[in-house]
Amino acid sequence: MSALNPYRPGLFISLEGIDGAGKSTQLQTVVDVLRAANRQVMLTREPGGTEIGEKIRELLLHETMRPATEALLMFAARQEHVLRVIEPALLGGTDVVCDRFTAATLAYQGGGKGIPTERLEALARWVHPGLCPDCIILIDVPPEVAAQRLEQTRQRDRFEQESVDFFARVRANYLQQAASSPEKWRVIDGTQTPEAVQKTITGYLNKVLQEFDSK
């Protein structure tokens, strides 16, 4: 059973960070560490992960909408994702590595766009009651660094086009979440080389797995 969530055997890990943090580069690192420990692993993403979720993702990334609509669509996609993909995998003993989860909604739609935290948390309790990642890896970079990296992206989506001030608010919210639950979060300096970030993630996850195996 999961060391942190004893009702299910799979380990649930999410990777978080503002756009341009280098998060996507490290997703495979997480998968590789788990597989090296002979664990079954599934990699997925949010918004997305299901046929309906991927259609909602396209709307969210490319269509202009109000922040409340954005948040509701995020949770609509998450509902399908949790029920059809994440929970079945975890209950079946497969580890789930997710590119963003509810922490991202709290940071982007809450911290970035001003939707009250209590509203988002109420939606989270409705959509996935009792389910949260066992550990959350936040790859943290200043928004100015992220902006420089995003300039190299040929075609940026609606979120990637947001201002530096917006990403500063998102980052602040992420760090606030991490500070409130240090036992669950690991903040990693994303301004390091990709190799250094990879090494830090590997060391952290090996400790998580040791804790898991000791239970």
23 has binding-site annotation = yes
Gap between the Cα atoms of 183 and 168, Å rounded: 24
The answer to whether 184 and 136 have CB atoms below 8 angstroms apart is yes
19 has binding-site annotation = yes
Q: What is the DSSP letter of 43?
A: E
21 has binding-site annotation = yes
HSE of 71 in the Cβ direction (CA atoms, 13 Å)?
Answer: 24
> Tokens standing for 180?
């409130």
134 has binding-site annotation = no
112 has binding-site annotation = no
> Tokens standing for 199?
């090494």
53 has binding-site annotation = no
Q: How many CB atoms lie within 10 A of CB 73?
A: 19
> Tokens standing for 104?
């991202």
Distances (CA, A) of 122 to 75, 100, 126, 159, 184: 11, 19, 6, 24, 20
Gap between the Cα atoms of 106 and 114, Å rounded: 10
**Sign of the C-alpha dihedral computed for residues 166, 172, 173 and 175 taken in this order:** positive
| Short-list 38, 35, 36, 41, CA closest to 11 | 41
Instruction: Name the binding residues.
Output: 17-24
Instruction: Name the binding residues for ATP.
Output: 17-24
